[in-house]
Chain A
Amino acid sequence: MEKPKKKQVLLFHCVEAEELALKVAAQSDLIQLQSINWRSFDDGFPNLFINNAQDIRGHHVAFLASFSSPAVIFEQLSVIYALPRLFTASFTLVLPFFPTGSFERMEEEGDVATAFTLARMLSSVPISRGGPTSLVVYDIHALQERFYFGDTLLPLFETGIPLLKQRLHQLPESDKIVVAFPDDGAWKRFHKLLDHFPMVVCTKVREGDKRIVRLKEGDCAGCHVVIVDDLVQSGGTLIECQKVLAAHGAAKVSAYVTHAVFPKRSWERFLHKNDGVHLLLDNGFVPTYCESHRQQSSF
């Protein structure tokens, strides 16, 4: 069966994802960067203009979004709602990090699951000539969130794990690596992709008021342990895992997270100290935090 022809893609992007967009375009001749004028009116509402709107007709178009805070959602959403209606051949929304992903449960009536809000807003994206919009998300927090989207959206859930595997193979001690999961959720999400590595699983146990991280299964003595998870917020859990693993004899501890949220510069606690955690981050995914920690060692 003949493989479909490679397609040329016009890539628009939000302001904060510019660096990643440049890297993406550099990867392939078929991807061409486009631009948008991002201004605002005096009342704070966006005044946007999509450049060369006529020229994108009949082309495959994509938008690289980044919802690092609620305030930037509206302007990007306006562009996302507008692009598919400019007679594009197809439209793909790339949202590497789906925020609110962890706030998707109603445990008590009255809880407001903001993941649902975002999914709903995205489900209103108009269809283009190419049909429903493809939505590309990396390592979404809860797999069932796939079902939050209506049929006007085709979710394409990808993962950053192959990048990690590539990096691990480059390490000198790649035969002495053990992968550790901070909880069962992370194990469920990732173990199949990493099953050729020995594994350790941690778990949180309640002792009175406190919750303590314990090793549930696996052995890490003398190894370089790499803790794997989809996202890190302030890093508290990671640090506790590190201590437990060190206590069980790990020779080195590193961590990989696809999305580094690190509110309020909490990444600072991970700067290299002796016996500290060496963090491997997928820097592209949460752009606002990248600049500040790029220069620090250990990242």
Chain B
Amino acid sequence: MSAVSPSPSILLTSTKPSNETHKTIIIPFIKKPTIPTIQCEFRSFENNSSSYQNLIADSSNRIHIIFKPPSSSPLTTASSMDLSIKHSKRVCLFYCSEMKDLAERIASASDSIELRGITWRTFEDGFPNLFISNAHGIRGQRVAFLASFSSPGVIFEQLSIIYALPKLFVSSFTLVLPFFPTGTFERMEEEGDVATAFTLARILSNIPISRGGPTSLERFYFGDNILPCFESGIPLLLNRLQKLPDSDNIAIAFPDDGAWKRFHKQLQHFPTIVCIKVREGDQRIVRLKEGDPKGRHVVIVDDLVQSGGTLLECQVRADGVLQSGFSKIIWTFADILRSLRDFSRKEKVLANHGATKISAYVTHGIFPNSTWERFKHDAGGNPENGMTYFWITDSCPRTVKQVENKSPFEILSLAAPIAAALQV
């Protein structure tokens, strides 16, 4: 891997007096102006309603939001690198068991990050029996916890640690949650819908305050339709694309307008292709909206993929008609089966429009029930049957274990961006 570069960004902090108790949430890449406000507005894809992040702001009524504006100029990269070297502070990093590999990579990405251990056991009744080793040793230190809420069952034990660490006289506490699950389930479309993202946001906004003040919550993103997300992932992609032999022949494709809104600015020096979902009767069809894939190596970019239905549809097409069957973005077995059937029968939008190679990048590869298996490798010449590369980050460790070393999958590690973020 090439030399570690921290995510290119400038950190703007507010000048509010620090004796106010408040929580700090670091949200990379927001397009809005950088005035820290208590309420933050995030556009969702369908409408402008504020998402559950507002709850984090509302419930404690004292949120400070630090905005990291997008920045792609080399100048800022250099200056932020200087910044991080000068002010490098020792951080004690705790982690949940499934994130062990990523935690080790983060620690090796930086001299000032030290890994710490927790004993994870359970009592006979199934409830956790936890012990934080060397609790005295973290007094006065900056402490972070790398969490992964890959399923509801693991939330309680990690939450117990998250609630306990800030109270051990640490100098500051940062929670790193690379992937925020339930992020897509954040709307009440009908009264009776239960937005589970709201549950998680509530639970997290109740983290005790530590001596250093508010908890920093590093979320690399929420799922689709909520935030102009993560930007710490895109630099990894840019880095990787530069190393490809055909790096001058790449075009970036967005599976829908939402993805375009979120990412196009960071990828504006590449030719762009945008797909769109159109309603035809009951069905929703993927069409090419703008851009020309002809002769290009097309890289589809999005923040998360569950079953891969949407991605495959961009890749796959049937005579201009392909069902996605989504009324809102949901991933169910029915959709997988439907897409697979169409896949085998028909041709692809992008391949059909002349793309010579197709790859994909998503930050979070969720792939429940091994749906990653649908993605085959195209060794050359057959973009309609497979992908050249499928890049995902290591935010979802269970998937990483399943797909590492299996073409077309390639893992881009978040270790360096996280290590840099921990210095904030």
Whether B156 lies near A70 (C-beta < 8 A) is: yes
Interchain CA distance A263-B194 in the complex, whole Å:
32
Contact of A197 with B by CB under 8 A: no
CB-nearest residue of chain A to B131: A110
Whether A52 lies near B192 (C-beta < 8 A) is: yes
Give the residues from 66 to 123 in chain A that come closer than 8 angstroms, CB to CB, to chain B. 68-75, 77-79, 81-82, 86, 99-100, 103, 109-114, 116-118, 120-121, 123
* Binary contact readout B146-175 vs A (1 if CB under 8 angstroms, 0 otherwise): 000011111111011101100010000000
Whether A117 lies near B163 (C-beta < 8 A) is: yes
Contact of A124 with B by CB under 8 A: yes
Interface-side segment among B105-113, B120-128, B248-256, B285-293: B120-128
Contact of B202 with A by CB under 8 A: yes
- Chain B residue numbers with a CB within 8 Å of A144 are none
From B151, B190, B199, B208, A44 is in contact (CB under 8 Å) with: B151
- Chain B residue numbers with a CB within 8 Å of A114 are 127-128, 130, 156, 160
Give the residues from 75 to 133 in chain B that come closer than 8 angstroms, CB to CB, to chain A. 123-133
Whether B194 lies near A49 (C-beta < 8 A) is: yes
Whether A70 lies near B203 (C-beta < 8 A) is: no
Contact of B282 with A by CB under 8 A: no
* Binary contact readout B176-205 vs A (1 if CB under 8 angstroms, 0 otherwise): 000001100100001111111011001101
CB-nearest residue of chain A to B133: A110
Whether A78 lies near B331 (C-beta < 8 A) is: no
Whether B196 lies near A48 (C-beta < 8 A) is: yes
- Chain A residue numbers with a CB within 8 Å of B185 are 41, 45, 47
Whether A77 lies near B125 (C-beta < 8 A) is: no
Contact of A43 with B by CB under 8 A: yes
How many residues does chain B have at the interface if contact means C-beta atoms less than 8 Å apart? 56
- Chain B residue numbers with a CB within 8 Å of A100 are 127
From B127, B164, B193, B333, A49 is in contact (CB under 8 Å) with: B193
CB-nearest residue of chain B to A99: B127
Whether B199 lies near A78 (C-beta < 8 A) is: yes
- Chain A residue numbers with a CB within 8 Å of B193 are 48-49
Interchain CA distance A53-B306 in the complex, whole Å:
29
Whether A42 lies near B194 (C-beta < 8 A) is: no
Whether B126 lies near A263 (C-beta < 8 A) is: yes
CB-nearest residue of chain B to A73: B156
CB distance from A292 to the nearest CB of B (A): 15
- Chain B residue numbers with a CB within 8 Å of A266 are 124
CB-nearest residue of chain A to B130: A112
- Chain A residue numbers with a CB within 8 Å of B127 are 69-70, 99-100, 103, 114
- Known: A46-B152, A121-B159. Contact between A70 and B128, CB under 8 A? yes
From B154, B163, B191, A53 is in contact (CB under 8 Å) with: B191
* Binary contact readout B302-332 vs A (1 if CB under 8 angstroms, 0 otherwise): 0000110000000000000000000000111
Interchain CA distance A174-B330 in the complex, whole Å:
62
Interchain CA distance A112-B124 in the complex, whole Å:
16
Whether B306 lies near A112 (C-beta < 8 A) is: no
Whether A43 lies near B155 (C-beta < 8 A) is: no
Contact of A50 with B by CB under 8 A: yes
Interchain CA distance A296-B219 in the complex, whole Å:
51
Contact of A51 with B by CB under 8 A: yes
- Chain A residue numbers with a CB within 8 Å of B161 are 112
From A42, A51, A71, A113, B333 is in contact (CB under 8 Å) with: A42
Contact of B368 with A by CB under 8 A: yes
Give the residues from 158 to 208 in chain A that come closer than 8 angstroms, CB to CB, to chain B. none
Contact of A134 with B by CB under 8 A: no
Interchain CA distance A113-B125 in the complex, whole Å:
15
CB distance from B401 to the nearest CB of A (A): 16
- Chain B residue numbers with a CB within 8 Å of A43 are 151, 181, 306, 331, 366, 368
Contact of B206 with A by CB under 8 A: yes
Contact of A233 with B by CB under 8 A: yes
Contact of A10 with B by CB under 8 A: no
CB-nearest residue of chain A to B194: A48
- Known: A73-B155, A103-B129, A116-B163. Contact between A109 and B135, CB under 8 A? yes
- Chain B residue numbers with a CB within 8 Å of A3 are none
Interchain CA distance A283-B59 in the complex, whole Å:
39
Give the residues from 362 to 393 in chain B that come closer than 8 angstroms, CB to CB, to chain A. 366, 368-369, 371
From A71, A75, A112, A126, B132 is in contact (CB under 8 Å) with: A112
Contact of A273 with B by CB under 8 A: no
Contact of B136 with A by CB under 8 A: yes
Contact of A226 with B by CB under 8 A: no
Whether B194 lies near A82 (C-beta < 8 A) is: yes
From A44, A50, A52, A120, B194 is in contact (CB under 8 Å) with: A50
- Known: A43-B366, A112-B161. Contact between A75 and B152, CB under 8 A? yes
Can you list 18 A-B pairs, Cβ within 8 angstroms, ordered by A?
A: A42-B369, A43-B306, A45-B185, A54-B191, A70-B126, A70-B128, A70-B153, A70-B154, A74-B199, A81-B199, A81-B202, A86-B191, A103-B127, A109-B135, A114-B156, A117-B163, A123-B206, A263-B125
B interface residues (Cβ-Cβ under 8 A, vs A): 59, 123-136, 150-157, 159-161, 163-164, 168, 181-182, 185, 190-196, 198-199, 202-203, 205-206, 208, 306-307, 330-333, 366, 368-369, 371
Give me 7 other A-B pairs in contact (C-beta within 8 A), A99-B127, A114-B127 excluded: A43-B366, A52-B192, A74-B152, A74-B196, A110-B131, A112-B128, A118-B156
Question: Which 3 interchain pairs have the tightest Cβ spacing?
Answer: A71-B153, A53-B192, A110-B135
